[in-house]
Amino acid sequence: MIKKATIKIEWIGNFKVKKPGIGESHAKVILLGEHAVVYGQPAIALPLPDLAMTVKIEPREAGQIILAQAYRGPLEAMAEVYEGIRQLIIRLLQYFDEPNMPFTMSITSNIPQERGMGSSAATAIAIVRGFFDYFNKKLSKQALQRWASIEESITHGSPSGLDTATVANDQAIWFIKGKQPEKINMSLDATLIIADTGIQGQTGLAVSVVREHLLNEPQSAQHHIDKIGEIAKHTRTAISENNVLKLGQFMNKAQKHLSALGISHPKLDELISAAREAGALGAKLTGGGVGGTMIALTQNAEQTTHVLTALEAAGAQEVWTQTYSHNN
Protein backbone atom coordinates (compact mmCIF):
# COMPACT_ATOMS: atom_id res chain seq x y z
CA MET A 1 0.00 0.00 0.00
CA ILE A 2 1.39 3.41 -1.05
CA LYS A 3 1.39 6.01 1.70
CA LYS A 4 0.25 9.47 0.75
CA ALA A 5 2.64 12.34 1.47
CA THR A 6 1.47 14.30 4.48
CA ILE A 7 1.65 18.04 4.93
CA LYS A 8 2.65 19.09 8.43
CA ILE A 9 0.95 22.14 9.89
CA GLU A 10 2.17 24.09 12.91
CA TRP A 11 1.96 27.65 14.21
CA ILE A 12 4.54 30.37 13.57
CA GLY A 13 3.44 33.65 15.11
CA ASN A 14 -0.17 34.20 14.09
CA PHE A 15 -0.05 31.87 11.10
CA LYS A 16 -0.59 28.18 10.58
CA VAL A 17 2.44 27.13 8.57
CA LYS A 18 2.33 24.37 5.96
CA LYS A 19 5.43 22.31 5.30
CA PRO A 20 6.33 22.75 2.51
CA GLY A 21 4.78 25.78 0.82
CA ILE A 22 4.39 25.40 -2.94
CA GLY A 23 4.01 28.09 -5.61
CA GLU A 24 3.71 27.51 -9.36
CA SER A 25 3.68 29.56 -12.55
CA HIS A 26 4.64 29.21 -16.22
CA ALA A 27 6.15 31.05 -19.17
CA LYS A 28 4.45 33.27 -21.74
CA VAL A 29 5.01 34.40 -25.30
CA ILE A 30 3.83 37.48 -27.17
CA LEU A 31 1.72 36.30 -30.08
CA LEU A 32 1.05 39.66 -31.68
CA GLY A 33 1.42 43.38 -31.09
CA GLU A 34 5.14 43.80 -30.41
CA HIS A 35 6.30 47.43 -30.52
CA ALA A 36 2.92 48.70 -31.71
CA VAL A 37 1.80 48.23 -28.09
CA VAL A 38 4.23 51.02 -27.11
CA TYR A 39 2.13 53.40 -29.22
CA GLY A 40 -1.29 52.50 -27.87
CA GLN A 41 -2.11 49.47 -30.01
CA PRO A 42 -3.20 46.14 -28.44
CA ALA A 43 -0.94 43.17 -27.85
CA ILE A 44 -1.83 39.52 -27.28
CA ALA A 45 0.20 37.16 -25.10
CA LEU A 46 -0.28 33.41 -24.76
CA PRO A 47 0.53 31.24 -21.73
CA LEU A 48 3.09 28.45 -22.09
CA PRO A 49 1.98 26.00 -19.37
CA ASP A 50 4.49 23.33 -20.47
CA LEU A 51 7.36 25.67 -19.58
CA ALA A 52 6.79 25.67 -15.83
CA MET A 53 8.22 27.16 -12.65
CA THR A 54 7.85 25.67 -9.15
CA VAL A 55 8.96 27.24 -5.87
CA LYS A 56 9.17 25.07 -2.75
CA ILE A 57 9.66 26.66 0.68
CA GLU A 58 10.74 24.46 3.59
CA PRO A 59 11.80 25.24 7.19
CA ARG A 60 15.40 24.84 8.35
CA GLU A 61 17.31 25.31 11.60
CA ALA A 62 19.16 28.47 10.57
CA GLY A 63 19.77 30.70 7.56
CA GLN A 64 17.75 31.75 4.56
CA ILE A 65 18.93 29.69 1.60
CA ILE A 66 17.99 29.94 -2.07
CA LEU A 67 18.57 26.94 -4.35
CA ALA A 68 18.09 27.79 -8.02
CA GLN A 69 19.74 26.85 -11.31
CA ALA A 70 21.77 30.05 -11.56
CA TYR A 71 22.26 30.76 -7.84
CA ARG A 72 22.74 28.61 -4.76
CA GLY A 73 23.44 30.41 -1.51
CA PRO A 74 22.12 32.71 1.20
CA LEU A 75 19.42 35.27 0.46
CA GLU A 76 21.61 38.12 1.69
CA ALA A 77 24.38 37.30 -0.82
CA MET A 78 22.23 37.25 -3.96
CA ALA A 79 23.89 39.17 -6.78
CA GLU A 80 22.67 42.44 -8.25
CA VAL A 81 20.85 40.74 -11.13
CA TYR A 82 18.59 39.06 -8.55
CA GLU A 83 17.90 42.17 -6.50
CA GLY A 84 14.23 42.19 -7.52
CA ILE A 85 13.77 38.65 -6.19
CA ARG A 86 15.69 39.45 -2.99
CA GLN A 87 13.60 42.54 -2.31
CA LEU A 88 10.37 40.63 -2.97
CA ILE A 89 11.31 37.89 -0.49
CA ILE A 90 12.35 40.42 2.17
CA ARG A 91 9.05 42.28 1.86
CA LEU A 92 7.01 39.09 1.98
CA LEU A 93 8.81 38.03 5.17
CA GLN A 94 8.12 41.46 6.65
CA TYR A 95 4.45 41.17 5.67
CA PHE A 96 4.18 37.89 7.56
CA ASP A 97 6.12 39.44 10.47
CA GLU A 98 8.89 36.84 10.17
CA PRO A 99 11.88 38.78 8.72
CA ASN A 100 14.44 36.36 10.20
CA MET A 101 12.59 33.10 9.61
CA PRO A 102 15.01 30.33 8.52
CA PHE A 103 13.97 28.61 5.30
CA THR A 104 15.18 26.84 2.19
CA MET A 105 13.63 27.97 -1.07
CA SER A 106 14.08 25.57 -3.99
CA ILE A 107 13.30 27.00 -7.43
CA THR A 108 12.95 24.56 -10.32
CA SER A 109 12.20 25.78 -13.82
CA ASN A 110 12.44 24.85 -17.49
CA ILE A 111 11.67 28.43 -18.59
CA PRO A 112 14.57 29.84 -20.64
CA GLN A 113 15.98 33.07 -19.24
CA GLU A 114 16.33 36.31 -21.21
CA ARG A 115 14.30 34.99 -24.14
CA GLY A 116 11.18 37.12 -23.72
CA MET A 117 9.23 34.31 -22.09
CA GLY A 118 8.57 36.03 -18.76
CA SER A 119 11.09 34.15 -16.62
CA SER A 120 11.44 36.90 -14.01
CA ALA A 121 7.67 37.45 -13.78
CA ALA A 122 7.11 33.70 -13.46
CA THR A 123 9.66 33.57 -10.63
CA ALA A 124 7.92 36.41 -8.81
CA ILE A 125 4.46 34.87 -9.18
CA ALA A 126 5.67 31.46 -7.96
CA ILE A 127 7.51 32.97 -4.97
CA VAL A 128 4.46 34.96 -3.86
CA ARG A 129 2.21 31.91 -4.20
CA GLY A 130 4.78 29.82 -2.33
CA PHE A 131 4.93 32.12 0.70
CA PHE A 132 1.17 32.55 0.92
CA ASP A 133 0.82 28.77 0.72
CA TYR A 134 3.50 28.32 3.39
CA PHE A 135 1.71 30.68 5.76
CA ASN A 136 -1.67 29.18 4.81
CA LYS A 137 -3.09 32.56 3.87
CA LYS A 138 -5.53 33.31 1.03
CA LEU A 139 -4.20 35.28 -1.91
CA SER A 140 -6.44 37.29 -4.23
CA LYS A 141 -5.58 37.77 -7.90
CA GLN A 142 -5.20 41.52 -7.34
CA ALA A 143 -2.83 40.98 -4.41
CA LEU A 144 -0.82 38.46 -6.43
CA GLN A 145 -0.28 40.99 -9.23
CA ARG A 146 0.57 43.73 -6.74
CA TRP A 147 3.18 41.61 -4.96
CA ALA A 148 4.73 40.37 -8.20
CA SER A 149 5.02 43.93 -9.49
CA ILE A 150 7.59 44.62 -6.75
CA GLU A 151 10.11 42.30 -8.39
CA GLU A 152 9.17 43.37 -11.92
CA SER A 153 9.52 47.08 -11.10
CA ILE A 154 13.02 46.59 -9.69
CA THR A 155 14.13 44.24 -12.49
CA HIS A 156 12.54 46.01 -15.46
CA GLY A 157 11.94 49.59 -14.32
CA SER A 158 8.41 50.26 -15.60
CA PRO A 159 6.77 46.91 -16.38
CA SER A 160 3.54 46.93 -18.40
CA GLY A 161 1.89 44.22 -16.32
CA LEU A 162 1.51 41.98 -19.37
CA ASP A 163 4.08 39.41 -18.20
CA THR A 164 2.72 38.98 -14.67
CA ALA A 165 -0.87 38.77 -15.95
CA THR A 166 0.01 36.06 -18.49
CA VAL A 167 2.30 33.87 -16.36
CA ALA A 168 -0.33 33.79 -13.60
CA ASN A 169 -3.16 32.59 -15.89
CA ASP A 170 -3.85 29.75 -18.29
CA GLN A 171 -5.66 32.04 -20.73
CA ALA A 172 -4.58 34.40 -23.46
CA ILE A 173 -4.19 38.04 -22.41
CA TRP A 174 -5.29 41.17 -24.30
CA PHE A 175 -3.24 44.18 -23.32
CA ILE A 176 -3.38 47.89 -24.10
CA LYS A 177 -0.85 50.21 -22.48
CA GLY A 178 -2.28 52.06 -19.51
CA LYS A 179 -5.24 49.70 -19.13
CA GLN A 180 -5.85 46.58 -17.08
CA PRO A 181 -5.01 43.35 -18.96
CA GLU A 182 -8.06 41.38 -20.12
CA LYS A 183 -8.43 37.63 -20.48
CA ILE A 184 -9.33 36.35 -23.94
CA ASN A 185 -11.75 33.48 -24.35
CA MET A 186 -9.24 31.07 -25.86
CA SER A 187 -10.53 28.20 -27.99
CA LEU A 188 -7.56 26.89 -29.91
CA ASP A 189 -6.43 23.51 -31.24
CA ALA A 190 -2.90 24.13 -32.43
CA THR A 191 0.77 23.91 -31.54
CA LEU A 192 3.03 26.91 -31.10
CA ILE A 193 6.72 26.36 -31.77
CA ILE A 194 9.26 28.79 -30.29
CA ALA A 195 12.78 28.82 -31.73
CA ASP A 196 15.84 30.68 -30.48
CA THR A 197 18.14 32.34 -33.03
CA GLY A 198 21.01 32.18 -30.55
CA ILE A 199 21.43 35.94 -30.95
CA GLN A 200 20.65 37.97 -27.84
CA GLY A 201 17.50 40.01 -28.46
CA GLN A 202 17.92 43.75 -27.94
CA THR A 203 14.56 45.21 -26.97
CA GLY A 204 15.93 48.65 -26.12
CA LEU A 205 17.72 48.90 -29.45
CA ALA A 206 14.62 47.69 -31.32
CA VAL A 207 12.45 50.31 -29.58
CA SER A 208 14.95 52.96 -30.69
CA VAL A 209 14.81 51.69 -34.29
CA VAL A 210 11.02 52.04 -34.37
CA ARG A 211 11.23 55.50 -32.79
CA GLU A 212 13.74 56.57 -35.44
CA HIS A 213 11.37 55.39 -38.18
CA LEU A 214 8.56 57.42 -36.64
CA LEU A 215 10.76 60.53 -36.54
CA ASN A 216 12.12 60.29 -40.09
CA GLU A 217 9.32 58.47 -41.90
CA PRO A 218 6.28 59.24 -39.72
CA GLN A 219 3.57 58.43 -42.25
CA SER A 220 5.04 55.08 -43.27
CA ALA A 221 5.95 54.00 -39.74
CA GLN A 222 2.56 54.96 -38.32
CA HIS A 223 0.88 52.97 -41.09
CA HIS A 224 2.74 49.81 -40.05
CA ILE A 225 1.99 50.39 -36.36
CA ASP A 226 -1.72 50.90 -37.08
CA LYS A 227 -1.83 47.80 -39.25
CA ILE A 228 -0.30 45.68 -36.48
CA GLY A 229 -3.05 46.97 -34.19
CA GLU A 230 -5.75 46.02 -36.72
CA ILE A 231 -4.25 42.54 -37.11
CA ALA A 232 -4.24 42.08 -33.33
CA LYS A 233 -7.98 42.81 -33.19
CA HIS A 234 -8.68 40.20 -35.89
CA THR A 235 -6.35 37.78 -34.14
CA ARG A 236 -8.38 38.03 -30.93
CA THR A 237 -11.43 36.79 -32.82
CA ALA A 238 -9.48 33.98 -34.52
CA ILE A 239 -8.22 32.71 -31.13
CA SER A 240 -11.71 32.63 -29.64
CA GLU A 241 -13.16 30.87 -32.72
CA ASN A 242 -10.35 28.31 -33.17
CA ASN A 243 -9.67 29.65 -36.66
CA VAL A 244 -6.10 28.37 -36.89
CA LEU A 245 -5.72 29.07 -40.61
CA LYS A 246 -6.67 32.74 -40.15
CA LEU A 247 -4.40 33.00 -37.14
CA GLY A 248 -1.45 31.80 -39.22
CA GLN A 249 -2.24 34.36 -41.93
CA PHE A 250 -2.38 37.14 -39.35
CA MET A 251 1.02 36.11 -37.97
CA ASN A 252 2.52 36.30 -41.47
CA LYS A 253 0.98 39.72 -42.10
CA ALA A 254 2.24 41.04 -38.78
CA GLN A 255 5.77 39.89 -39.61
CA LYS A 256 5.74 41.97 -42.82
CA HIS A 257 4.94 45.11 -40.85
CA LEU A 258 7.47 44.32 -38.12
CA SER A 259 10.12 43.76 -40.76
CA ALA A 260 9.20 47.06 -42.42
CA LEU A 261 9.76 48.77 -39.06
CA GLY A 262 13.33 47.43 -39.10
CA ILE A 263 13.21 45.09 -36.11
CA SER A 264 13.65 41.72 -37.77
CA HIS A 265 17.08 40.16 -38.31
CA PRO A 266 18.67 37.94 -41.00
CA LYS A 267 18.67 34.95 -38.64
CA LEU A 268 15.05 35.55 -37.68
CA ASP A 269 14.14 35.79 -41.37
CA GLU A 270 15.99 32.54 -42.06
CA LEU A 271 14.13 30.62 -39.35
CA ILE A 272 10.78 32.16 -40.31
CA SER A 273 11.27 31.17 -43.96
CA ALA A 274 12.35 27.65 -42.97
CA ALA A 275 9.24 27.20 -40.83
CA ARG A 276 6.87 28.42 -43.53
CA GLU A 277 8.50 26.29 -46.22
CA ALA A 278 8.14 23.25 -43.95
CA GLY A 279 4.39 23.80 -43.66
CA ALA A 280 3.88 26.22 -40.77
CA LEU A 281 0.57 28.06 -41.07
CA GLY A 282 2.26 31.21 -39.84
CA ALA A 283 5.61 32.38 -38.49
CA LYS A 284 6.95 35.64 -37.08
CA LEU A 285 9.35 37.11 -34.58
CA THR A 286 8.20 37.42 -31.00
CA GLY A 287 9.21 39.97 -28.39
CA GLY A 288 11.77 42.70 -28.94
CA GLY A 289 13.26 41.45 -32.20
CA VAL A 290 16.72 42.25 -33.62
CA GLY A 291 17.62 38.67 -32.71
CA GLY A 292 15.92 36.72 -29.96
CA THR A 293 13.18 34.23 -30.76
CA MET A 294 10.55 33.48 -33.38
CA ILE A 295 7.28 31.54 -33.27
CA ALA A 296 5.57 29.24 -35.75
CA LEU A 297 2.03 27.81 -35.79
CA THR A 298 1.09 24.25 -36.77
CA GLN A 299 -2.22 22.40 -36.81
CA ASN A 300 -1.25 18.74 -36.46
CA ALA A 301 1.56 16.44 -35.35
CA GLU A 302 2.88 15.89 -38.87
CA GLN A 303 3.22 19.63 -39.53
CA THR A 304 4.87 20.09 -36.16
CA THR A 305 7.47 17.40 -36.87
CA HIS A 306 8.32 18.87 -40.28
CA VAL A 307 8.68 22.40 -38.88
CA LEU A 308 10.81 21.28 -35.92
CA THR A 309 13.14 19.42 -38.27
CA ALA A 310 13.40 22.43 -40.60
CA LEU A 311 14.12 24.86 -37.76
CA GLU A 312 16.88 22.69 -36.35
CA ALA A 313 18.38 22.28 -39.83
CA ALA A 314 18.26 26.07 -40.26
CA GLY A 315 20.36 26.53 -37.12
CA ALA A 316 17.87 27.18 -34.33
CA GLN A 317 19.83 27.03 -31.05
CA GLU A 318 16.90 25.73 -28.99
CA VAL A 319 13.30 24.88 -29.81
CA TRP A 320 10.28 24.61 -27.52
CA THR A 321 6.69 23.60 -28.23
CA GLN A 322 3.34 24.29 -26.61
CA THR A 323 0.20 22.45 -27.71
CA TYR A 324 -3.19 24.01 -26.99
CA SER A 325 -6.49 22.18 -26.94
CA HIS A 326 -9.84 23.85 -26.28
CA ASN A 327 -11.03 20.55 -24.79
CA ASN A 328 -8.55 20.85 -21.91
Closest CA to 193 of 321, 50, 27: 321
87 CB-contact burial (10 Å; exposed 0-12 / middle 13-18 / buried 19+):
middle
Q: Does domain 190-324 have CATH number 3.30.70.890?
A: yes
The pLDDT score that the predictor gives to residue 3 is: 42
User: Using one digit for the tens of pLDDT, what is the confidence trace for 192-234?
Assistant: 999 999 887 777 777 888 889 888 998 999 999 999 999 999 9
Domain boundaries, the chain: 8-184, 190-324
DSSP letter assigned to residue 2: P
Fold of 8-184: Ribosomal Protein S5; domain 2 (3.30.230)
The pLDDT score that the predictor gives to residue 10 is: 55
Q: How far is CA 32 from CA 63, 192, 196, 315, in A?
A: 44, 13, 17, 24
- Residue 325 binned pLDDT confidence (cut-offs 50, 70, 90): confident
User: Using one digit for the tens of pLDDT, what is the confidence trace for 126-149?
Assistant: 999 999 999 999 999 889 988 988
Torsion of CA 109, 111, 116, 121, to 10 degrees: -30
User: Using one digit for the tens of pLDDT, what is the confidence trace for 17-57?
Assistant: 557 899 999 999 999 998 888 888 999 999 999 999 999 99
Residue 155 confidence (pLDDT) above 70: no
Whole-angstrom distance, CA of residue 170 vs CA of residue 157: 26
Prediction pTM value:
0.84
User: Using one digit for the tens of pLDDT, what is the confidence trace for 283-317?
Assistant: 999 988 888 899 999 999 999 999 999 999 999 99
